[in-house]
């Protein structure tokens, strides 16, 4: 057993290695990225031959993890919350097929949208798919619940979701590891039709999943992951889920609170434990990070005048992440006024790095488009989304990965011409290629700029599946060779670049302009590593 200082993400990764995982599959996404990166950088994982290469997107990752499970081995797939939307099809259906080797779906939610376009709560997906969900409160529990999660998965032959949120992903604390377990041997499913979801077979599989629900619930009551902690003040019963438990504990210690408490780390909700705390107290206060999932369920649970407080009745804000002060307020604790932020402090939003290639792309694009007027640039998700901010104000949309090309297509179909898409290289191979095929097949007049910085920049510079392949991919999808153009986004080629963009804006049909210059962050890192090598 070893002691580590781990981010929540790292604790999950080391636990998976220790629990005998044979492969991790993922596409980067804050705050989940460090899980896979940890496995990629782990010598131990390399020696054990654990798969850890990035996948093209979350859907391919989920399916690969399911395939590894089919072959009898333990697998994990990781993503940020919106990644599960991309992977929702295999996710929902994996609940129906069930698993062979243990499979954990780790999803990192981002309440308050620190680095995301929404704050959806993945526990709903777990409930939707009818599978168990584990939600650790701290780094040690994250470590332990991975071990438990694989056992649970194999015990009930179901995928298990591990749900974390930003503060746990990116908070560091001490973790003690457990005994290591060997990887599973290669072993086919006992029933070779288990994974064939033909309607006749799927109906049977679905009934099996439905029958498992009472087992899942019993497990939630008895596993010990959901803990009832008695208290003398029976005015209010506290139900604290995942991370919210820590914020409650902070207040409990500093204000000597003594309410009965139910700490939730496993779903479906433990019916017996909830009935116990509900019957012993006058009202329930629900503390949960994300949407009011538990609060809503309990209001349905007790079709009675029983009082349930939380995010829905205004005791806590309906949106945004929780913190100790919000919970103090919900508990009726009076706090002194806090000093104000002096007025002169101005906002400091994120911005392009000095010398970023995306900024040169936008400067050229803005000039080329000036004659057509504003409102025709559909962009996508990545560092280049910062083109939305002043002084560029260069883009008009950022919705989900890949939507730039397809929204430009729809707008062009409606008659908005020229219509421009700006997409990053990694986003293009994640979800842009299929949309480009749609446009090619219909010869839609759109101009697609792939701003290729040869990395997955926004999430910290992971390898991009697109690097060195963009020309072949576009040709292969059927874009005319003459309308696959290249430009070098540097100030000194500014006029030339405007010229190229202008020519393609006039083209009737699909144009792709590949603006290729390496991300200055990854270039800088490479140079530092090289000079480090030379010195040695």
Partner 1 sequence: MKTDIILSGVGGQGILSIAAAIGMAALEDNLFLKQAEVHGMSQRGGAVQSHLRISDTEVASDLIPKGKADLILSVEPMESLRYLPWLNPSGWLVSNTEAFINIDNYPDKEEIYSEIRKIKNHILIDADRIAVEAGSARSSNMAILGAASSLIPISHEKFHSGIRKIFERKGEDMVKLNLMVFDAGRKAASDYLSR
Ligand X SMILES: Cc1ncc(C[n+]2csc(CCOP(=O)(O)OP(=O)(O)O)c2C)c(N)n1
* Closest to 514 (Cα-Cα) out of 372, 523, 479: 479
From the list 38-46, 420-428, 490-498, 527-535, the region that binds ligand X by CB under 6 A is 420-428
What whole-number distance in Å separates Cα of residue 114 and Cα of residue 381? 14
The site string for partner 1 over 225-264 (x = CB under 8 A, - otherwise) reads ------------------x--xx-xx-xx-----------
* Residue 351, C-beta contacts closer than 8 angstroms, at least 6 positions apart: 386, 389
For residue 322, the SS3 value is: coil
Smallest distance, Å, CB 66 to ligand X? 18
Per the structure block, which two tokens stand in for 529? 């590593």
Q: Torsions phi, psi of 450, nearest 5?
A: -95, 110
Residue 4 C-beta-side C-alpha neighbours within 13 Å? 20
The site string for ligand X over 14-43 (x = CB under 6 A, - otherwise) reads -------------xxx--------------
Contact 512, 483 (CB under 8 A): yes
Smallest distance, Å, CB 320 to partner 1? 13
- For position 80 contacting ligand X by CB under 6 A, the verdict is yes
For residue 446, the SS3 value is: strand
Per the structure block, which two tokens stand in for 31? 């705050």
* Closest to 310 (Cα-Cα) out of 294, 333, 332: 294
- For position 402 contacting ligand X by CB under 6 A, the verdict is no
Per the structure block, which two tokens stand in for 130? 């009818």
* Closest to 450 (Cα-Cα) out of 421, 476, 475, 477: 421
Q: Which is nearer to ligand X, 250 or 518 (CB)?
A: 518
- For position 30 contacting partner 1 by CB under 8 A, the verdict is yes
Smallest distance, Å, CB 325 to partner 1? 5
Angle of the 139-156 helix axis to the 199-222 helix axis, nearest 10: 130
In 278-369, which ranges are E strands?
283-287, 307-309
Q: Which is nearer to ligand X, 117 or 223 (CB)?
A: 117
Q: Which is nearer to ligand X, 156 or 384 (CB)?
A: 384
From the list 27-35, 125-133, 223-231, 402-410, the region that binds partner 1 by CB under 8 A is 27-35
Q: Which is nearer to ligand X, 77 or 175 (CB)?
A: 77
Smallest distance, Å, CB 470 to ligand X? 11
From the list 18-26, 144-152, 224-232, 332-340, the region that binds partner 1 by CB under 8 A is 332-340
Q: Which is nearer to ligand X, 29 or 231 (CB)?
A: 29
Partner in contact with 453, chosen from partner 1, ligand X, none, beta carbon below 5 to 8 Å by kind: ligand X
The single residue among 49, 185, 300, 339 that binds partner 1, judged by CB under 8 A, is 339
Q: Which of residues 435-464 bind ligand X (CB under 6 A)?
A: 453, 455-459, 464
Contact 158, 69 (CB under 8 A): no
What whole-number distance in Å separates Cα of residue 321 and Cα of residue 119? 9
* Residue 196, C-beta contacts closer than 8 angstroms, at least 6 positions apart: none
- For position 355 contacting partner 1 by CB under 8 A, the verdict is no
Q: Which of residues 144-173 bind partner 1 (CB under 8 A)?
A: 167-168, 170-173
Where on the chain is the footprint of partner 1 (CB under 8 A)?
5, 7, 30-31, 33-34, 114-115, 167-168, 170-174, 243, 246-247, 249-250, 252-253, 323-325, 328, 335-336, 338-342, 344-353, 383, 386, 458-460, 532, 535
């Amino acid at each position: 057993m070893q002691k580590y200082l781990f981010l929540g993400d790292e604790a999950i990764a080391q636990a998976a290695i220790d629990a005998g995982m044979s492969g991790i599959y993922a596409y980067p996404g804050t705050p989940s990225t460090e899980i896979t990166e940890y496995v990629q950088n782990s010598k131990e994982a390399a020696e054990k031959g654990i798969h850890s290469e990035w996948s093209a997107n979350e859907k391919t990752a989920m399916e690969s993890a399911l395939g590894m499970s089919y072959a009898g081995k333990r697998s994990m797939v990781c993503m940020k919350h919106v990644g599960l939307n991309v992977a929702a099809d295999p996710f929902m259906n994996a609940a129906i097929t069930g698993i062979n080797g243990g499979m954990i779906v780790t999803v990192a939610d981002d309440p308050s949208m620190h680095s995301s376009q929404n704050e959806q709560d993945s526990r709903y997906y777990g409930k939707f798919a009818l599978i168990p969900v584990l939600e650790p409160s701290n780094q040690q529990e994250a470590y332990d619940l991975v071990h438990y999660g694989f056992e649970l998965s194999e015990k009930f032959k179901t995928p298990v979701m591990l749900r974390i949120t930003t503060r746990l992903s990116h908070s560091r604390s001490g973790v003690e590891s457990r005994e290591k377990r060997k990887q599973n041997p290669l072993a086919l499913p006992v029933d070779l039709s288990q994974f064939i979801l033909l309607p006749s077979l799927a109906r049977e599989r679905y009934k099996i999943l439905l029958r498992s629900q009472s087992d899942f619930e019993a497990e939630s009551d008895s596993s010990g992951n959901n803990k009832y902690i008695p208290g003398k003040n029976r005015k209010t019963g506290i139900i604290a889920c995942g991370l919210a438990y820590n914020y409650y504990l902070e207040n409990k210690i500093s204000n000597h609170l003594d309410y009965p408490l139910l700490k939730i780390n496993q779903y479906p909700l433990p019916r017996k434990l909830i009935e116990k705390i509900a019957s012993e107290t006058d009202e329930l206060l629900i503390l949960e990070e994300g949407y009011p999932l538990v609060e809503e369920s309990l209001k349905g649970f007790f079709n009675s005048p029983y009082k349930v407080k939380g995010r829905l009745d205004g005791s806590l804000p309906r949106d945004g992440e929780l913190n100790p002060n919000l919970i103090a307020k919900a508990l009726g604790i009076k706090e002194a006024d806090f000093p104000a932020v002096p007025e002169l402090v101005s906002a400091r939003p994120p911005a392009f790095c000095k010398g970023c290639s995306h900024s040169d792309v936008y400067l050229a694009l803005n000039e080329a488009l000036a004659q057509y007027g504003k409102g025709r640039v559909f962009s996508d998700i990545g560092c280049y989304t910062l083109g939305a901010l002043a002084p560029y104000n260069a883009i008009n949309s950022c919705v989900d990965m890949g939507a730039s090309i397809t929204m430009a297509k729809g707008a062009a179909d409606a008659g908005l011409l020229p219509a421009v898409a700006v997409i990053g290289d990694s986003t293009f191979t994640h979800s842009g290629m299929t949309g480009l095929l749609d446009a090619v097949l219909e010869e839609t007049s759109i101009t697609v700029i792939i701003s290729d910085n040869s990395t997955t920049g926004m999430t910290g510079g992971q390898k991009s599946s697109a690097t060195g392949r963009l020309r072949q991919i576009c040709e292969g999808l059927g874009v005319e060779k003459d309308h696959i153009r290249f430009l070098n986004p540097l100030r000194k080629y500014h006029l030339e670049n405007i010229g190229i963009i202008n020519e393609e804006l006039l083209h009737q049909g699909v144009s792709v302009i590949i603006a290729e210059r390496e991300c200055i962050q990854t270039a800088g890192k490479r140079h530092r590593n090289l000079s480090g090598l030379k010195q040695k």
